[in-house]
A and B are shown apart, each in its own frame.
Chain A
């Protein structure tokens, strides 16, 4: 098969997948611009800003997984999705646990380490 002959179906699929990448790129760009823009140009309260940064980051990570790494909810990629979810669980336990334990220690014994 020569490289230029794509069947109609393939051509459609290609257009579709190109669109996926473009969407991913666009969404990621917007989700980057929002927190940067807010941080630089507007004097909003720090707490609100943290929330915006966090939420945008989480959405952007999902965008990357969905549009660039093609992790979907379809049945035959379940294994990959399960693996991600398990990783997220372990991350939550380890990262959350670490922060919880150490800050608990800081408050009790090393108040200078609390930022």
Chain B
């Protein structure tokens, strides 16, 4: 490479192409792996190309920029977060299927090289945690939480847009690594000394570091934004113990984000210093100590687990109470349990490295702390069951996920208690038992929650219900597929099969890996059903519209407004008098949709290009750092600095919606409501459901 190109491209050259190796050394395994890797890269390219063509064809670039990318509206930002999550979910599930396939045929070999397999489990884990789970829950909280507390937006709408930009940049970095390979092979936890430059000098680990760093920054900002919103923007009368439970879990999650993300920032930053500037934090020589990294990583890692799981607890609480037609049993206990879990989650991180070599008494103390978390979690399980007890349960899609969650999550929790015993952990750590355990927590405990939440709130966001039949097939597919794919891994773990093995030589493993493979295929079908569900729902949207805004006879404030809600959410900020504020409003004489005495002008944040600017600059910085293109790093860094300073000089960052317009829109909606026929809960899943439930006095039993 000439002097000039290396200045321009850094260490990026043709060998980064996914098929380069196969061209150089065309052995059979190399060719097979190159075909798979190039296929994945081509998918990314084609997908991006298709999006560009579609936007140009339909002349929607302007619309995309003005209505979506620069919008400070928490609802739109939430939807964009969820779209990132779904795209990344699709990729990571496909990767999972490849891993299962490899292990199903992996006796004495398999078809993937160890290098390729390593990239698969690293991207799978990194994506699922940072670019599927985090954006999914951030998106749902973004959309729902301000509506539940009666606010018009988050406290810092432009910062919210910047958070979205940073997450999108991180996700894009992971995607680009398919085209300009490789990604890290160090697992989602990236332990040194394997990830140090001495052992791993390529671009892979650097991709991982910067993708994760972008996601961490995004989550820290998001956490601050959510927490301040819940502290400062509650509607009048929305006291702490009147908050819907989902908002409580959102608050605890955001506090965990604020305090749990810094350890990861430190860990990845120090690893980057080691790799880029020859520091010696985690190296094997010159006074470095890799155990420091492991400690820091899990000081983040364990709070992270509860960042992921608490919002799902909140969603399930809403689901159980809504679809049982009862108020939540043990609200106070649930709130206290949520807070207890949040605090305890900071005290248990050592159980991720019981075998690192510390004294038995240290292990014992952290083991006991771990088991303690089972208590508040158990309280929650009982509260949910008692919420269903004697309720009029409707088995709609969110409820199927919720029931599946309870059964599977309890099992996963039990295996967690087993793993919390250090002496047992010594036997089964680093085996597939562990893999089975945390998938058993996160698939029912996170993904089911997010999917239930999507089914629950989709009609609020888009104005029509999701189709039920395909939704049920997807839910059952996920539950069955999960059991088939992961229960065998418990057995494999006890048989001693190490995690992250590209190949194995023990025939006794084979039946179990085959069974797990079948489960993975079922999950793939469940993904397909989700797509079909979305497709069918969009196709039949006119028949399933819910202009009334309240398709499930909901209990909290988000159901009191139109579907989709106006940009300002509430024409007049509601006043809250009790828990389950909207249900109370429906029960009492005032009526579900009272006309306010007067409307006022509403001041909303104006659009801002800060999110896309910081997102693109962040992506370019990460890309430049990965490939040593220093000019790009400096340029992109300068752009973000200038943008941030210039933003400080902007005045008039708001726009005003006049009272007359608010009145017109609200009155139009009330007129629509008058034209709707109320339905009872029995007709909820029929096309008669127009989003207006019969009033509790004449209809449903409480």
Contact = CB atoms under 8 A, between A and B. Distances in A.
Direct contact of A and B (CB under 8 A): yes
Interface of A: 79, 86-87, 90, 93-94, 97-98, 100-102, 104-105, 108-110, 113
A94 B358 contact: no
Contacts of A109: 357
16 contacts: A87-B259, A94-B299, A94-B346, A97-B299, A97-B349, A97-B350, A98-B296, A101-B295, A101-B358, A101-B362, A102-B292, A102-B295, A105-B356, A108-B357, A109-B357, A113-B287
A90 B342 CA distance: 11
B291 A102 contact: yes
Contact of A105 (B231, B299, B346, B357): B357
Contact of A104 (B259, B292, B349, B358): B358
B240 to A, nearest CB: 12
A98 B299 contact: yes
Contacts of A86: 255
B502 to A, nearest CB: 30
Interface in B290-310: 291-292, 295-296, 299
Contacts of B358: 101, 104-105, 108
Nearest to A109: B357
Interface of B: 231, 255, 259, 263, 287, 289, 291-292, 295-296, 299, 346-347, 349-350, 356-359, 362
A106 to B, nearest CB: 9
A93 B291 CA distance: 18
Contacts of A102: 289, 291-292, 295
B295 A108 contact: no
Contacts of B356: 105
Contacts of B349: 97
B543 to A, nearest CB: 49
Nearest to B289: A113
A98 B358 CA distance: 12
A12 B325 CA distance: 60
A98 B359 CA distance: 14
Tell me what chain B mostly uses at the interface: helix, strand, loop, or mixed.
helix
Given A87-B259, A101-B358, A79 B231 contact: yes
Given A108-B359, A109-B357, A101 B350 contact: yes
A8 to B, nearest CB: 33
Given A94-B263, A104-B359, A110-B289, 18 more contacts: A90-B346, A93-B346, A93-B347, A94-B299, A94-B346, A97-B349, A100-B362, A101-B362, A102-B292, A104-B362, A105-B291, A105-B356, A105-B357, A105-B358, A108-B357, A108-B358, A109-B357, A113-B289
The 7 closest A-B CB pairs, nearest first, are A104-B358, A90-B259, A109-B357, A93-B346, A105-B358, A94-B299, A104-B359
A86 B255 CA distance: 10
Contacts of B289: 102, 110, 113
Contacts of B357: 105, 108-109
Contacts of B231: 79
Contacts of B347: 93, 97
B139 to A, nearest CB: 26
A100 B350 CA distance: 11
A93 B259 CA distance: 12
B402 to A, nearest CB: 31
A14 B659 CA distance: 42
A109 B231 CA distance: 47
Contacts of A90: 259, 346
B386 to A, nearest CB: 31
A98 B295 contact: yes
Contacts of B346: 90, 93-94
A108 B287 CA distance: 17
A81 B411 CA distance: 40
A87 B258 CA distance: 10
A60 to B, nearest CB: 23
A100 B365 CA distance: 12
A94 B261 CA distance: 12
